């Protein structure tokens, strides 16, 4: 037999035979229990071969195919016998992990149920009731804790300026009263859901009923130091003018106590057996309604600053300016931060403005061309501001934030602003000198002696500052009706009429006068109040004079 015919063939011994039977039996059981998806025939053969190789082989001579077939037949027969013997070695190996796993699960289930039963009568972990930790505690434990707190209970009241007061439970006859709140809180938790307690805090509030002497407690509250001392009220933040604009003035906190809040907090703290009440933190002091962060305060500032954008300049000889410095004083806010524009203050300012710059009817001083100084008052000439019309214009300009340069609205104007508002062109009559001047641009354009009214109330020429109201030639002057005759006291034609008052006083020619000046007005030749002039002088004045020319009449 050649080397090519040499194969490795197992020469079984009795011990080997028993091993082979055992391995064959294990292979059959393994094939029986393995899933079809993992049933690889080639792999099984390799496993068998490796097992046999481990058991020991020796080189033998291969006799031929028939001999091999006999060997395989013998092996198959032995395997069949093994199966009939009912071998179970591999099957028992597989069942063991399943049994262990089931036992572990069963034990865990028992533990879980046991813990769940425990939490049916005890609070979960991470349970906080009224600010205290009661993890794993029973309702009785919580109840006992609450009762214990009543004994020797004291509430410390922390106040401003590091002051404090104590309310002692004995002083108010504090007694614990049982209720169902703790049991109800326990019933709300589902014992089987205990694992979720490890992932979050369970915070609960229960009502702790206590009884106490309310009158005694109220007396103690009324006698607390912050209640009995002099209290200062808080002040809200508010707009304040800093000279340029409105800015927020910060709020101030006073010492006034909010008694309603304080009483409520003390009751709550006693009910929950809390040891310290910080009055400031709990808002027991009166708070300012608005703070620097309040949007209402900022809105009020914005509105007021819009008013202050306005600037109105009145040209009154010297400029009078209404701007933010003045307007800011007319702006206020109420307790709800509503902005008020004080129109009464505007009217008051306009009244003062008029008193300063209105000259109608005021007393002025004049120096005559002769150097004489005289005071003159009365008359209807001068500045007179129309305050009602100007009020509307001024308030609208302010509300719209306008910048304007203007003169105010007037009832009546004059030639110039200043002490001598008649300017440099005017007529002047000196009653005591019985002389008159027509001044044009500060220079004498005409002067003459005159005859004025008889110095009695009915006929005296009135002093004051007036203006020329009418210039008319060839007028007939008509006097008052004489009751005795029913006719005018006089009807006198004149060539030149220059009216000063609507009551009938004016300049005119008087050809009936024998002379002018001196004391004629006192000697029975005085007029009924008019200023009598020589014909030629009256004509000259008539031709130079203009309507509205100021007239100053003085003694």
Q: What percentage of the chain reaches a pLDDT higher than 70?
A: 83
Nearest-angstrom CA–CA distance, 273 and 208: 9
List the one residue out of 58, 53, 64 whose CA is nearest residue 5: 64
User: Do 154 and 172 contact (CB within 8 A), yes or no?
Assistant: no
The upper half-sphere exposure of residue 488, i.e. CA atoms within 13 Å in the direction of its Cβ, equals 9
Residue 318: exposure state from Cβ atoms within 10 A (0-12, 13-18, ≥19): exposed
69-83, 97-111, 176-190, 541-555 — which one is most confidently predicted on average? 541-555
Q: Rounded to 5 degrees, what are φ and ψ at 510?
A: -140, 85
The string of DSSP codes covering 234-298 is -B--EEEE-SSSEEEEPPB----B-HHHHHHHHHHHHHTT-SEEETTTTT-BPPPS--TT-HHHH
Nearest-angstrom CA–CA distance, 134 and 198: 14
User: Looking at residue 198, what is its pLDDT?
Assistant: 84
Mean of pLDDT values over 33-45:
40
Q: What percentage of the chain reaches a pLDDT higher than 90?
A: 60
Tokens of 318: 């010297």
β-strands 531-533, 506-509 pairing: parallel
Angle between helices 14-33 and 41-55 (to 10 degrees): 160
Mean of pLDDT values over 299-305:
97
DSSP 3-state percent helix, strand, coil across the chain (nearest 5)? 40, 25, 35
User: Do 339 and 387 contact (CB within 8 A), yes or no?
Assistant: no
Confidence of residue 25 (pLDDT cuts 50, 70, 90): very low
Tokens of 118: 């425990």
Nearest-angstrom CA–CA distance, 506 and 181: 106
pLDDT in tens, 252-266: 999 999 999 999 999
Long-range interactions of 119-123: CB distance < 8 A, separation 24+: 119/189, 119/191, 119/194, 120/191, 121/186, 122/186, 123/185, 123/186, 123/189, 123/202
Confidence of residue 304 (pLDDT cuts 50, 70, 90): very high
The string of DSSP codes covering 437-467 is EEEETTEEEEEEE-B-B-SSTTTPPPPEEEE
User: Looking at residue 194, what is its pLDDT?
Assistant: 85
First to last CA, the chain: 179
Give Cα separations from 210 to 145, 149, 171, 479 (angstroms): 14, 11, 14, 105
Cβ neighbour number for residue 113 with a 10 Å cutoff: 12
User: Looking at residue 93, what is its pLDDT?
Assistant: 61
Mean of pLDDT values over 220-247:
95
Confidence of residue 92 (pLDDT cuts 50, 70, 90): low
What value does the mean pLDDT of the chain take? 84
pLDDT in tens, 349-362: 999 999 999 999 99
Mean of pLDDT values over 70-90:
48
User: Looking at residue 129, what is its pLDDT?
Assistant: 83
pLDDT in tens, 191-224: 788 888 787 778 877 776 778 888 999 999 999 9
Residue 149: exposure state from Cβ atoms within 10 A (0-12, 13-18, ≥19): buried
Among 42-46, 93-97, 312-316, 333-337, the range scoring the smallest mean pLDDT is 42-46
Among 168-182, 474-488, 536-550, the range scoring the smallest mean pLDDT is 168-182
300: left (phi over 0), alpha (psi -120 to 50) or beta: alpha
Nearest-angstrom CA–CA distance, 159 and 33: 83
Nearest-angstrom CA–CA distance, 156 and 493: 107
User: Do 252 and 235 contact (CB within 8 A), yes or no?
Assistant: yes
Give Cα separations from 364 to 425, 427, 460, 463, 505 (angstroms): 16, 15, 21, 12, 21
Residue 72 pLDDT greater than 50, yes or no? no
List the one residue out of 151, 146, 142 whose CA is nearest residue 174: 151
Cβ neighbour number for residue 132 with a 10 Å cutoff: 15
Confidence of residue 46 (pLDDT cuts 50, 70, 90): very low
List the one residue out of 296, 306, 305, 308 whose CA is nearest residue 238: 296
More confident residue, 60 or 488: 488
Kindly provide the b/e burial profile for residues 374-412, where b requires at least 16 CB atoms within 10 angstroms of the residue's own CB. bebebbbbbbbbebeebbebbbebbeeeeeeeeebeeee
User: Looking at residue 77, what is its pLDDT?
Assistant: 52
Give Cα separations from 416 to 359, 419, 420 (angstroms): 10, 9, 7
| Beta-ladder partners of 252 | 235
The string of DSSP codes covering 350-370 is HHHHHHHH--TT--EEEE-TT
Distance of CA 548 to the CA centre of its chain: 59
Q: What is the chain's alpha carbon radius of gyration, rounded to the nearest angstrom?
A: 62
User: Looking at residue 94, what is its pLDDT?
Assistant: 66
pLDDT in tens, 434-489: 999 999 999 999 999 999 999 999 999 999 999 999 999 999 999 888 888 889 98
Residue 114 CB contacts under 8 Å (≥ 6 apart), including other chains: none
Give Cα separations from 307 to 237, 239, 395 (angstroms): 20, 13, 10
User: Do 285 and 259 contact (CB within 8 A), yes or no?
Assistant: no
List the one residue out of 279, 275, 272 whose CA is nearest residue 255: 279
Kindly provide the b/e burial profile for residues 85-98, where b requires at least 16 CB atoms within 10 angstroms of the residue's own CB. eebeebeeeeeeee
Residue 488's SS3 state is strand
Residue 398 pLDDT greater than 60, yes or no? yes
Confidence of residue 5 (pLDDT cuts 50, 70, 90): very low
Kindly report the pTM of this predicted structure: 0.60
């Amino acid at each position: 037999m050649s080397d090519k015919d040499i194969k490795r063939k197992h020469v079984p011994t009795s011990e080997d035979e028993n091993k082979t039977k055992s391995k064959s039996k294990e292979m059959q059981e393994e094939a029986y229990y393995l899933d079809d998806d993992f049933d690889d025939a080639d792999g099984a053969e390799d496993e068998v071969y490796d097992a046999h190789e481990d058991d020991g082989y020796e080189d033998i001579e291969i006799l031929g195919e028939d001999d091999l077939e006999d060997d395989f037949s013998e092996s198959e027969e032995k395997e069949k016998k093994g199966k009939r013997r009912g071998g179970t070695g591999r099957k028992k190996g597989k069942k063991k992990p399943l049994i262990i796993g089931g036992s572990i699960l069963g034990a865990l289930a028992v533990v879980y149920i046991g813990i769940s039963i425990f939490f049916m009568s005890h609070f979960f972990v991470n349970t906080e009731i009224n600010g205290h930790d009661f993890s794993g505690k029973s309702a009785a434990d919580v109840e006992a804790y609450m009762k214990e707190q009543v004994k020797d209970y004291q509430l410390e009241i922390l106040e401003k300026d590091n002051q404090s007061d104590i309310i002692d439970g004995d002083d108010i006859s504090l007694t614990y009263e049982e209720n169902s709140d703790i049991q109800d809180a326990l019933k709300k938790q589902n014992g089987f859901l205990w694992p979720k307690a490890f992932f979050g805090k369970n915070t609960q509030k229960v009502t702790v009923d206590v009884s106490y002497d309310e009158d005694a407690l109220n007396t103690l509250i009324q006698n607390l130091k912050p209640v009995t001392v002099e209290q200062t009220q808080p002040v809200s933040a508010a707009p304040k003018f800093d000279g340029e604009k409105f800015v927020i003035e910060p709020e101030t906190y006073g010492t006034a106590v909010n008694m309603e809040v304080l009483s409520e907090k003390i009751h709550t703290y006693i009910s929950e057996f809390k040891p310290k009440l910080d009055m400031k933190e709990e808002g027991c002091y009166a708070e300012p309604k608005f703070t620097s962060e309040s949007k209402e305060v900022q809105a009020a500032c914005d509105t007021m600053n819009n008013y202050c954008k306005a600037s109105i300049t009145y040209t009154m000889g010297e400029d009078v300016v209404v701007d933010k410095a003045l307007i800011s004083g007319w702006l206020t806010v109420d307790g709800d931060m509503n902005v008020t524009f004080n129109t009464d203050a505007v009217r008051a300012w306009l009244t003062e403005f008029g008193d300063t710059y209105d000259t109608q009817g005021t007393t002025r001083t004049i120096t005559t061309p002769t150097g004489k100084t005289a005071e003159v008052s009365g008359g209807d000439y001068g500045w007179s501001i129309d305050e009602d019309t100007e009020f509307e214009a001024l308030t609208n300009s302010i509300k719209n934030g306008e910048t304007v340069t203007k003169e105010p609205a007037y009832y009546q104007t004059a030639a110039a602003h200043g002490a001598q508002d008649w300017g440099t062109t005017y007529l002047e009559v000196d009653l005591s000198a019985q002389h008159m001047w027509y001044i044009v641009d500060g220079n004498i354009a005409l002067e003459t002696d005159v005859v004025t009214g008889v110095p009695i109330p009915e006929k005296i020429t009135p002093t004051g500052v007036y203006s020329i109201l009418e210039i008319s030639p060839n007028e007939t002057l008509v006097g008052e009706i004489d009751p005795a005759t029913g006719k005018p006291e006089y009807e006198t034609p004149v060539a030149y009429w220059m009216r000063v008052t609507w009551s009938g006083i004016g300049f005119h020619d008087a050809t009936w006068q024998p002379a002018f000046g001196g004391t004629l007005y006192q000697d029975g030749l005085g007029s009924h109040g008019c200023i009598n002039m020589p014909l030629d002088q009256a004509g000259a004045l008539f031709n130079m004079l203009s309507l509205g020319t100021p007239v100053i009449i003085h003694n």
